[in-house]
Structure 1
Amino acid sequence: PVDALLKILGFGGKGGKTPGGKASKKDAKRRQEEAEAAYRVLSTRANSFYNGFVRLGCRISALTDMEFLSFLLGQMTDWDEDSERPPTLYEHVSLDPGGYDQIPPEKRDELIREAEKIREEAPPALGIGDLVADKIAPDTAKVFPDFLEVDGKFRTTMFVSGWPDEVFFGMLADLNRIEGRVKVVKFVDPRPKREAQQILGGRVAALRASSKTADDGNVNAEQQREIAQYTNEQALLEINSGRQRYLEMSVLVHMEADSEERLYGMAQEVQDTLAGWNVSSQLAREQMWEGLLSTNAFGHNYLSDRYCPFGMLSRPAACLFSYGSQQIDHEHGAFVGVDTRSNAVMTLDPRQLVNPHGVILGQSGGGKSFVIKSLSTRFLMFGHRQVILDPEGNSRYVRVAKKVGGAYAVIAPGSKHKINPFDLHEDYMNLDLLDDIFGAAEPDVEEDGEEHDPEDATRAARMAAVDGKAQEITRMVSLMAVTDDSNSSGAVGGLSGAEASFVERAVYEVYDAAGIKRDDPTTHHLPAPIFPDFWETLRGYAESNPIVENLLEKLWSWHSGSLSKIFDAPTNVDLKSKYLVFQISKVQERQKAPVMHAILEFLNGILSNRDEPSDCWIDEAWSLLAFDMSAKFIETMCRSGRARDNAMWLASQAINEFVESREGNFILDLAATHMIFRHEHQKS
């Protein structure tokens, strides 16, 4: 029987020769080449695994040679790495067992020397007569239906026998809290797309048929069928579209204890823990030895197929990390809370992510303003300039500004605080130009493969400051001209194409009158014109042009009406403060968009210093996203933020304002950080 077993395993054969070739130098070389080829495949897979986990912030290393054997010994026996009995894995030559014991010693020594030359730069295979099983086999093993007794230790294996309709991140993490030695092993087998389509298509067809034929009056059963049908239809859609892959997933849990009673307790605890997530589990009865082999580093699931495999899409499978946690641990990050699962401190540094931007969504009272106040003050301590736009005035940002020595400005009719949208600060940039350079997906790389120089790009954007200001003031005026939904769909927001041309022409003219030349940056420090100067220029056009006369009617409130005292004077707000709060709660809803746009555009300069990181927080951002012009400006600020070392944070109660517009969806996709508080489902 032993000889028969060796033949099945591929060792030994007729005449004692190894199957596939006789013992010779040629045979040794062939087998070494096979080992090298297998090692290359294994190395490629290991590198892919390593790179994937490194991107997640994990530190992993490969077990090789003695380390690997020590690991296997520790898993299979009671061997201790501190033992005086050292493990041995390799003989001095890489040859398969069988056949070579029949060769005379002199000839065998010659083969060994030749083989040593062959494998000098290659990973060694097992030596003569060496088998992994011989090295790691326990001294005694008693096999029972429900457990094993191995070297005085009691072991058992369980498997997941059923998953809920939805899986969540961290479902298996609770198993780490069980006292004792618990090992979670997952086998993932990606299936071809055609096979996945057949499996899911068959399920959908069967469920559709059952919904028409099964009419037993059981409401719960009917609901379960509907849920299952919907789930499989969506899964089939994901497979057909190529967004996900279909995997066969097997999850095994192996336990070890000092007594049978403790082992039973651990198994019950595992079952209860998984049941808390609606995950079913069972003992691998009558297959305990197969379970022991399956949960060790042999890369194969020896349990019967009837036990384990379950179909699962690739994204849900990513939730099943055994050590999964919501923990964020950035070395130079701001404190954001404590992970309730691991009790670990969570620190966030958005600039370590793909991009520094963030979106905060939540119902009223959900904690959005608290998070803004907390993070803005903590980022301030790291040397970041902070700017907050407060459209409601009930979040007490002003109180925070006073406590940290910052400044605040109330921008409203009759307020003593003034900002001039026509100001050209030293660091003012043409954001549209900067966006054209840095808005590409690949950072700092041009189409021809050359890297962008951020300094050259920002210098060019500052040279084109007047052109950028003309574009942004045209957008601001277009928002001012929006009086209702009927005239918000002009060529440029609330302006027709002709009106927008006259506005831009007037902007250049008032700058020229103030001595500020578009092609001479040395004049940009001169006192800037103000909105009344711009108005007078437009009024000069209106004397002979009915188009401009109609435009002045739209803008009457901003020059002669209730809003005329907002932009009627030079800036008197302290822009040197590191913590600035702009409050516009006294501005009516319809006028908030142009005021917020004007403030953001006005702050362009102080938010564009590459030597000073800055964070801009926009509370109730729906006021801007509701209008295409202001939404596009926010998108531009986000796209150029990397070049300016500026992070944009948008907070809103209404998620629909994001998902129902192209710019809103872009901002959601661009923001690497999403925070959601007490948010209910909304139908768009």
Structure 2
Amino acid sequence: MLTRNRRRTPSTPSSAFVPDAVEIHPRHLQLGDEWVASFAITGYPREVHAGWLQPLLTHPARLDVSLHIEPIDPQVAAERLRKQLGKLESTRRHTAARGRLVDPTIETSTEDAYDLSDRLARGEGRLFRVGLYLTVHARSEAELIEEVSALRALTASLLVDAKPTTYRSLQGWITTLPMGLDQIAMTRTFDTAALSAAFPFTSPDLPPPDVTSAAAARGVLYGWNLGSQGLVHWDRFSCENYNAVILGRSGAGKSYLVKLEALRSLYQGVELAIIDPEDEYARLARAVGGTYFPLGNEGIRINPLDLPIHTRPDGRRSAPADALSRRSLFQHTLLSVLFGQSLSARERAVLDHAVTDTYRAAGITEDVRTWTRQAPLLTDLRTVLDTSDNNTARDLASRLHPFTHGAFSGLFNGPTTTPPEGHLLVFSLRNLPDELKPAGTLLTLDAVWRRVSNPAIRRPRLCVVDEAWLLMQQRAGAEFLWRMAKSARKHWAGLTVATQDVGDVLGSDLGKAIISNAATQILLRQAPQAIDDIVRTFALSEGERQFLLSANTGQGLLCSGTQRVALQAIASNAEHQLITTDPAELAAMANDTAADNADPSAAADDLVLDD
């Protein structure tokens, strides 16, 4: 073992960039408090796709990837290739003359050599000497052993042979430093196409869904690419699922991006339903002729016991075979959200019998023909519970009293006012009491889901849940959102979950499950307190971490699988006026409107100009 010591001298600026000591072992180095091991790639697969080494860059451990490239003179390359072809052809003829079986390896190598020779002769590429080296870092020897095992498993999955730089560990580490020195010299000859595919760097632009198509980009225009200055188009309905999650701190432009995507999705014929906690989508709904439901206002009600009755194209009405059972189960979820805690097993049993009795009192039984009758109300359910001899039932009735006859009864004390229909549905929760906002979110999601699951109407749909933390604070609400995220794709629908409270999403298994079921993930500017959770969950690099901490309003990362792109949301002037929530801009627009209304001559001039 050779040890080289270097003392740190405070007066020497370069001392901050060198280790205290370097201990050289046969297969690893100890650099101060750090342990490193280096590897050289000696074997490669025969066929690869573009960017096939990208998993090396997204490896969760600290891994240095060094790619050394040296061009070969075309004349030298042609001469060497001619000699290699001669050896391969001689081997083939010798095998044939002796009557032996054909060696598949020799046959494949000969075909590849002839193909490469033809491309070089036509000037379609060049040859290069390429060396690929890896160095893995750890904080202890035991951790280094684990990281080396993980790296070997990763390289094996990529069908490459990683050999340790035994007895040349120092040279292997120097080779992976950004100094351009290849002291291992274990290279392989690559042509231009193979070299370009081996680059472990992805394009700053998102790949189109069909790389062989020359058609214009489909989907929604989100903005422009901060890396290439190109445009970022993304079609959620071309992914494996249509869900999306948008995470960003307050003021990062989260709602702005959600409204921009919603408006441009309407251009594509997508039907939208939006749960709006702050009444931010009212102007957008009025501008495009959408349907606006201000929950909490007088006369706006949703009956949680409504059955999902659908009208088929032939005019007949139908419902799912298990509709009554599903409505009974939904009452369990609703009461758990209303009470702020999960129901016990005894309470669930009592509630199940009470719901059945409530429907039966309204003339609704297991017979499907009775399901078109008027559905009972939550008040009827409380009455059944209150008249029961069971103490648990009477306790449930007393806890339901505020929502049927008390301060919070306005949302439930009557049948559903208007069926949710239209190309854009906006459910505003602003006027609901804070205690009812989780229940209001759940009820609107249930109403939207009954429309989405209607088999008689098949069209692409998106359901947007803005400020989803309102519902995810309670486990029953998070479970309903999770089930919807898992089942939406089967009904040609996508769920958009947008929230500024990252902790409620990443702090639970259900929240992480919702993220894992979203093929489209958009990360906007993050708070320093939440960035570590974001980095761990999405396996972000240090550069991406710093970008999310310093991003401007409307800037973020669009992630889908291994593809990531930094974007800046952009909107036209007309779109901006519909979706902005800047108080100063809204006040200026209100003043302009008031000035136009106060000046009849100006209005007349506008009419003349319009004509």
| TM-score for the superposition, normalised by structure 2 | 0.60
Conserved? CA contact 2:309–2:319, under 8 Å: no
CA gap 1:387/1:322 in 2 versus in 1, 3 angstroms: same
CA gap 1:671/1:503 in 2 versus in 1, 3 angstroms: same
| Greater mean alpha carbon deviation, residues 577-586 or residues 235-244 | 235-244
Select the residue among 322, 338, 362 that pairs with 2:201.
322
Following TM superposition, the consecutive aligned residue runs of length 4 or more in structure 1 with deviations greater than 6 angstroms are 78-81, 110-113, 115-118, 120-123, 130-138, 181-184, 240-244, 246-250
Q: Measure how far apart 1:183 and its partner are.
A: 8.5
Q: Which residue of 2 aligns with 1:45?
A: 45
Distance 2:198 2:437 in 1: 42
Q: Does 1:397 align with 2:244?
A: no
Distance 2:369 2:53 in 1: 49
Q: Deviations over 1:38-94 (max 9, x none)?
A: xxx99x9234x24985999xxxxxxxxxxxxxxxxx96328999xxxxx99957992
> Alignment partner of 2:90: what SS?
coil
Select the residue among 370, 380, 405 that pairs with 2:256.
370
Structure of larger gyration radius: 1
Q: Aligned letter for 2:450? A: G
Conserved? CA contact 1:360–1:676, under 8 Å: yes
Conserved? CA contact 1:328–1:346, under 8 Å: no
Distance 2:357 2:305 in 1: 12
**Following superposition of structure 1 onto structure 2, how do residues 408-557 of structure 1 map, counting pairs within 5 Å?**
408-412=292-296, 414-426=297-309, 462-482=320-340, 488=341, 493=342, 495-518=343-366, 520-541=367-388, 544-557=389-402
Q: Which residue of 1 aligns with 2:223?
A: 337
| Greater mean alpha carbon deviation, residues 415-424 or residues 325-334 | 325-334
CA gap 1:564/1:244 in 2 versus in 1, 3 angstroms: farther
Distance 1:45 1:188 in 2: 16
Q: Which residue of 1 aligns with 2:291?
A: 407
Conserved? CA contact 1:326–1:339, under 8 Å: yes
Q: Which residue of 2 aligns with 1:379?
A: 265
Q: Measure how far apart 1:663 and its partner are.
A: 1.0
**Following superposition of structure 1 onto structure 2, how do residues 91-490 of structure 1 map, counting pairs within 5 Å?**
94-96=89-91, 114=97, 124=107, 187-188=132-133, 200=138, 204=140, 238=147, 245=154, 281-282=178-179, 284=181, 294=187, 296-297=189-190, 321-325=200-204, 327-330=206-209, 331-393=217-279, 396-412=280-296, 414-426=297-309, 462-482=320-340, 488=341
Q: Deviations over 1:592-620 (max 9, x none)?
A: 11221122122222121462222111111
Question: Taking CA–CA contacts closer than 8 Å with sequence separation of 6 or more, which of the two structures ends up with the larger relative contact order?
Answer: 2
Q: Aligned letter for 2:204? A: S
Q: Deviations over 1:556-598 (max 9, x none)?
A: 2111222111122222334220110101112222321122112
Distance 1:663 1:601 in 2: 18
Q: Measure how far apart 1:113 and its partner are.
A: 7.6
Q: Which residue of 2 aligns with 1:437?
A: none
Conserved? CA contact 2:244–2:521, under 8 Å: yes
Conserved? CA contact 1:355–1:672, under 8 Å: yes
Q: Measure how far apart 1:512 and its partner are.
A: 2.1
CA gap 1:649/1:298 in 2 versus in 1, 3 angstroms: closer
Q: Does 1:631 align with 2:489?
A: no
Q: Deviations over 1:417-467 (max 9, x none)?
A: 222211222359xxxxxxxxxxxxxxxxxxxxxxxxxxxxxxx99211110
Q: Which residue of 2 aligns with 1:617?
A: 464
Select the residue among 621, 637, 652 that pairs with 2:499.
652
Select the residue among 578, 583, 608 that pairs with 2:423.
578
Distance 1:351 1:417 in 2: 33
Select the residue among 402, 410, 414 that pairs with 1:565.
410
Q: Which residue of 2 aligns with 1:63?
A: none
| Greater mean alpha carbon deviation, residues 521-530 or residues 332-341 | 521-530
Conserved? CA contact 1:361–1:652, under 8 Å: yes
Q: Aligned letter for 2:336? A: S
CA gap 1:343/1:137 in 2 versus in 1, 3 angstroms: closer
Distance 1:672 1:133 in 2: 39
> Alignment partner of 1:597: what SS?
helix
Conserved? CA contact 1:76–1:136, under 8 Å: no
Work out the number of aligned pairs and report it: 434
Conserved? CA contact 1:410–1:584, under 8 Å: yes
> Alignment partner of 1:535: what SS?
helix
CA gap 1:281/1:511 in 2 versus in 1, 3 angstroms: same
Q: Aligned letter for 1:297? A: F
Conserved? CA contact 2:292–2:428, under 8 Å: yes
Conserved? CA contact 1:93–1:116, under 8 Å: no
Q: Deviations over 1:155-202 (max 9, x none)?
A: xxxxxxxxxxxxxxxxxxxxxxxxxx998956156x9xxxx7xx84xx
Distance 1:111 1:78 in 2: 29
> Alignment partner of 2:411: what SS?
coil
Conserved? CA contact 2:51–2:199, under 8 Å: no
CA gap 1:593/1:131 in 2 versus in 1, 3 angstroms: closer
Distance 1:369 1:629 in 2: 25
Q: Aligned letter for 2:206? A: Q
Q: Measure how far apart 1:118 and its partner are.
A: 6.7
CA gap 1:51/1:136 in 2 versus in 1, 3 angstroms: closer
Conserved? CA contact 2:467–2:499, under 8 Å: yes
Q: Measure how far apart 1:472 and its partner are.
A: 0.6
Q: Aligned letter for 1:666? A: A
Distance 1:561 1:467 in 2: 28
Which ranges in structure 2 are unaligned for 5 or more consecutive residues?
1-41, 56-70, 156-161, 166-175, 210-216, 312-317, 534-611
Distance 2:330 2:392 in 1: 21
> Alignment partner of 1:327: what SS?
coil
Conserved? CA contact 2:387–2:394, under 8 Å: no
CA gap 1:280/1:573 in 2 versus in 1, 3 angstroms: farther
Conserved? CA contact 1:360–1:651, under 8 Å: yes
CA gap 1:113/1:669 in 2 versus in 1, 3 angstroms: closer
> Alignment partner of 1:373: what SS?
helix
> Alignment partner of 2:320: what SS?
helix
Distance 1:134 1:405 in 2: 64
Q: Which residue of 1 aligns with 2:526?
A: 679
Distance 2:475 2:263 in 1: 31
Q: Measure how far apart 1:471 and its partner are.
A: 0.5
Conserved? CA contact 1:423–1:602, under 8 Å: no
Conserved? CA contact 1:94–1:119, under 8 Å: no
> Alignment partner of 2:464: what SS?
strand
Greater per-residue strand proportion:
2
> Alignment partner of 1:640: what SS?
helix
Distance 1:249 1:354 in 2: 39
Q: CA RMSD in A?
A: 4.9
Distance 2:397 2:309 in 1: 32
> Alignment partner of 2:218: what SS?
coil
> Alignment partner of 2:453: what SS?
coil
CA gap 1:283/1:637 in 2 versus in 1, 3 angstroms: closer
Q: Aligned letter for 1:632? A: E
Q: Aligned letter for 2:438? A: A
Q: Which residue of 2 aligns with 1:596?
A: 441
Q: Measure how far apart 1:397 and its partner are.
A: 0.8
